Amino acid sequence: MGIKKHISKILAAALILGAIPIGAITVHAAPASKVSSIKLNKTRTTTWVGSNVATDLALEATVKGSYSTVKWRSSNPAVCDLSFPVAEIEYATLVPKKAGTVIITAEAGGKKAKCSVKVNKPELIINKKKIDTTYEGKTKKYALVIKDPAGRDITSQIVESSSYTTSGGNVAKINPNMVGGVSRPSVDIIGIGSQIFTFIFGNTRANLTITSKAAVPRITAASSVTVKRDSTKDIVVTVGRVGVGAGITDSQAHQDLFTYSKSMEYENGEHVCTYHIKTNGKIGQGYLTVSVDNYGKTAKKKIKIKVTV
């Protein structure tokens, strides 16, 4: 039987029987075991000034062995300081103050663990800060990707919650683009002018500036058309690369040869103009001129009208 175990039995028996007064001996506690290791729940993390994302800010130390306290320190408290829950020595909370990188150290029983902390500016990361484009009457789509200052994709979160403001004209819209239950957000250009979107996430912001210019119109039509006298004929003129509000005017030379009326349809960036030509009894040559003004961008098409027997 080991001597320590033996002495313990003797002492226990003596106490029970009252043979040895309690104050007659001093019992010394066994020395505490030393700390064998300390680990943090993360070795590196990224956050930003003013962040309140708890998962980024929380640090926890796991210590093996007996210890009375965990000492925490920051290599640069001006960049990132620490706060502590009451009576929770194993926990610390990051307090990011300005952009930079620090090392957080936790120490217990002579053992240390470290975490590298990168503090970014409170700015959202956006794949496009500016879109300069030409609107041709058809919707143009630009993929939209927004990340928080720590680099996590939060595009769908912002789009689905409409966490943005806008100023300027009706030039673009934010489209969730749900495909098979998956959101693939985009910026859809739908007009001409300028517009600014401001995306918001907590205390962070990012601006997207859009400038959409008018395109030079494209007029497609025959250069020359032959029509018999005292008859009718339709001439189709297609005006492309224009917005729905583009101005289309027409005029004719030699009005004694023919008259005309016009019908128009607009679809997917194109005006389709049908000119209904009606000739008189005369033979000769005249002109129909089609002019387009697309928000300052202009084009003109002159069509020769030959009236024959």
- Asked whether residue 106 falls in the same domain as residue 149, the answer is no
Q: Is residue 130 part of a domain?
A: yes
Please report the pLDDT score of residue 25 as a whole number.
Answer: 33
In a domain, 27, yes or no: no
Same domain, 100 and 153: no
8 in any annotated domain: no
> Comparing 20 with 81, which gets the higher pLDDT?
81
The domain boundary residue, chosen from 194, 214, 234:
214
CATH code (residue 148)? 2.60.40.10
My answer on whether 290 and 241 are in the same domain is yes
Cα 191 to Cα 131: distance, rounded to the nearest angstrom: 13
Residue 226 lies in a domain: yes
Which domain, by its residues, includes 79? 36-120
Cα separation, 189 vs 14, whole angstroms: 93
Q: What is the pLDDT of residue 68?
A: 86
Number of C-alpha atoms within 13 angstroms, CB side, residue 154? 22
Say yes or no: 108 and 175 in one domain. no
Look up residue 98 and give its two tokens. 């300005």
34-76: pLDDT as tens digits? 999 999 999 999 999 999 899 999 999 999 998 888 999 999 9
Please check whether residue 19 lies inside any domain of the structure: no
Of 182 and 294, which is predicted with more confidence?
Answer: 294
Are residues 78 and 47 both part of a single domain?
yes
Asked if 95 and 149 sit in the same domain, the reply is: no
CATH number for 67: 2.60.40.1080
User: Among residues 186, 214, 242, which one ends one of the domains?
Assistant: 214
Radius of gyration of the chain from Cα atoms?
40
* Residue 299 pLDDT grade (very low, low, confident, very high; cuts 50, 70, 90): very high
Total count of domains within the chain: 3
Mean pLDDT of the chain: 88
Answer yes or no: is 237 within a domain.
yes
pLDDT digits (tens, 9 = 90+) for 134-150: 999 999 999 999 999 99
Domain-ending residue, one of 56, 87, 120: 120
Per cent of the chain over pLDDT 90 is 77
Domain identity same for 156 and 237 = no
- Decide: pTM greater than 0.95: no
Give the span between the Cα atoms of 282 and 309, in whole angstroms: 9
Residues 109 and 154 in one domain: no
Q: Taking 90 as the threshold, does the pLDDT of residue 87 lie above it?
A: no
Residue 254 in any domain: the answer is: yes
Task: Verify that 113 and 141 share a domain, yes or no.
Answer: no
Q: In terms of Cα–Cα distance, which of 223, 290, 288, 294 is closest to 259?
A: 288
**Mean pLDDT of the 225-248 span:** 94
Asked if residue 75 and residue 42 are part of one domain, the reply reads yes
For 6-26, what is each residue's pLDDT tens digit? 334 333 433 333 433 433 333
Q: Evaluate whether residue 9 is within a structural domain.
A: no
Instruction: Give the pLDDT score at 181.
Output: 77
Q: Are residues 142 and 116 in the same domain?
A: no
- Tell me the DSSP string of the chain: --HHHHHHHHHHHHHHHT-S-GGG--PPPPPPPPP-EEEES-SEEEEETT---HHHHEEEEEEES--S--EEEES-TTTEEEE--TT-TTEEEEEE-SSEEEEEEEEETTEEEEEEEEEE-SB-EES-SEEEEEE-SS-EEEE--EE-TTS-B-HHHHHHTT-EEEEESS-EEEE--EETTEE--EEEE-SSEEEEEEEEETTEEEEEEEEEEEPPPEEE--SEEEEETT-EEEEEEEEES--TT-EEEEEEE-TTTEEEEEEEEEETTEEEEEEEEEE-S--EEEEEEEEEEETTEEEEEEEEEEEE-
